[in-house]
Structure 1
């Protein structure tokens, strides 16, 4: 439910400029260090959009453009993700596509879950490919 609220806020603010409101997650354990490192590796530009500012400010949130792309590091495991779900692998990172929220994707690793909301005219595969590289640097994929 939280992710749906975030998506609605992002889409409502798209094109408004300024600071984008995104609820920051509260990572736990090893996820804290992984998210701190990921924050330093994220691109300044993503699929043509410059990195923006979110409120409240958090090292665990990144937005690009007018909030059309938002990343939250250290979120809980997706509720809809079943043990039998197949993940889409991009550059060594497995991504769960939420069947109820077509703009919501979650990177699944042994250490951390990273949620990405992609709206607007962006191509999900291109955005996820660009984000997979830094995510793979901070968190190995789950053991098979």
Structure 2
């Protein structure tokens, strides 16, 4: 399913930054929170393991610092950590018609360097960035204090996602 089928926007440069600043909150995240490890199906698990092998050692200048429990389905950078989770279930907003029309103030869809993302502002100030139109859902969680760095984070993650996560439709679960 293409979440951008009605009004696809290719976002880049200053326009992406402006939209992400608008969507992003300003509060800080709880860096001590446990990371829930996804439990993907076999096909998605293989994709996630491949992604884990090509993830950058640094993301927007932040060193790799994987969360506990260690898993091929999670990764982290910096402190407070940018957290990656691969093999998550489809976010409900991924199929929300308001998002596709651009009518949801807390969620937008866009592309950065050839990778489509759903960007969702959360009530706690974090920003959830989830790949779209790929065979696995990969989510980055940016703590509230880092949300203004989201364009650099997505740019830094694009090569790994393009290399390891094929374009296509992810499993519905």
TM-score with structure 1 setting the length: 0.78
Indicate the structure (1 or 2) with the bigger Cα radius of gyration: 2
2:118 to 87, 92, 96: 96
Distance change (3 Å), C-alpha of 1:99 and 1:12? closer
SS in 1 for 2:36: coil
Structure 1 position 11 matched with structure 2 position 11: no
Question: Which 10-residue stretch deviates more, 22-31 or 115-124?
Answer: 115-124
- Structure 2 Cα separation of the partners of residues 50 and 56 of structure 1: 18
Distance change (3 Å), C-alpha of 1:128 and 1:74? same
If asked which structure has higher relative contact order (CA below 8 Å, sep 6+), I would say: 2
Q: How many residues align?
A: 129
Shift of residue 83, structure 1, vs aligned partner: 6.0
SS in 1 for 2:139: strand
Q: Partner residue of 2:8?
A: none
RMSD of aligned alpha carbons:
2.2
Matches within 5 A, 1:65-80: 65-80=78-93
Shift of residue 81, structure 1, vs aligned partner: 1.6
Structure 1: stretches of 5+ with no match in the other structure: 1-9, 15-19
Q: Partner residue of 1:139?
A: 165
Q: Partner residue of 1:7?
A: none
Structure 2: stretches of 5+ with no match in the other structure: 1-27, 101-108
Which protein has the bigger helix share?
A: 2
TM-score with structure 2 setting the length: 0.66
- Structure 2 Cα separation of the partners of residues 136 and 67 of structure 1: 26
- Structure 2 Cα separation of the partners of residues 113 and 50 of structure 1: 23
